[in-house]
Amino acid sequence: MHEPQVACIAKGKSGKAYEFGTKVSVVRGRKTGVITSVKRFSGDPHDSKTLEASLSQSQRVRELIGGTRPEKAITDRVFRGIKEVEGTEILLPTKKERKKRQNTNNKLQD
């Protein structure tokens, strides 16, 4: 590896047990799409351990422009089991939402 920040990341999937790269987290506003946090993590921390750091960085950026910490965060399912992080409610997609999104995508492809 020629880049020192690259790490072996265990994926736990049958076809792809490991990947090499850098774990990052991106936080963006749902309505505006403005990115308020991009954070790189050393090694291979569990995804659930990255959420607080990402939301805190987003809060610092938002406060610079007169905003506050997000009240809600829509995440992927890797964060299941986490309901709240320092006042931010954690929302996960449901299977119904996923199926609805797949149906919409199928209609767009037709």
User: Which domain, by its residues, includes 11?
Assistant: 7-104
Coil, helix or strand at residue 18: strand
Residue 97, in any domain of the structure: yes
Q: Measure Cα distances from 90 to 24, 64, 110 in Å.
A: 19, 23, 34
- Give the count of domains, the chain: 1
pTM of the predicted protein model:
0.70
**100 inside domain:** yes
Does residue 14 fall inside a structural domain?
yes
Please write the tens of the pLDDT for every residue from 74-99. 998 888 888 999 999 999 887 775 66
pLDDT score for 104: 62
Instruction: Give the pLDDT of residue 3.
Output: 74
In the structure, what pLDDT confidence band is assigned to residue 1 with cuts at 50, 70 and 90?
A: very low
Residue 1 included in any domain: no
Lowest pLDDT segment from 20-24, 33-37, 39-43, 101-105: 101-105
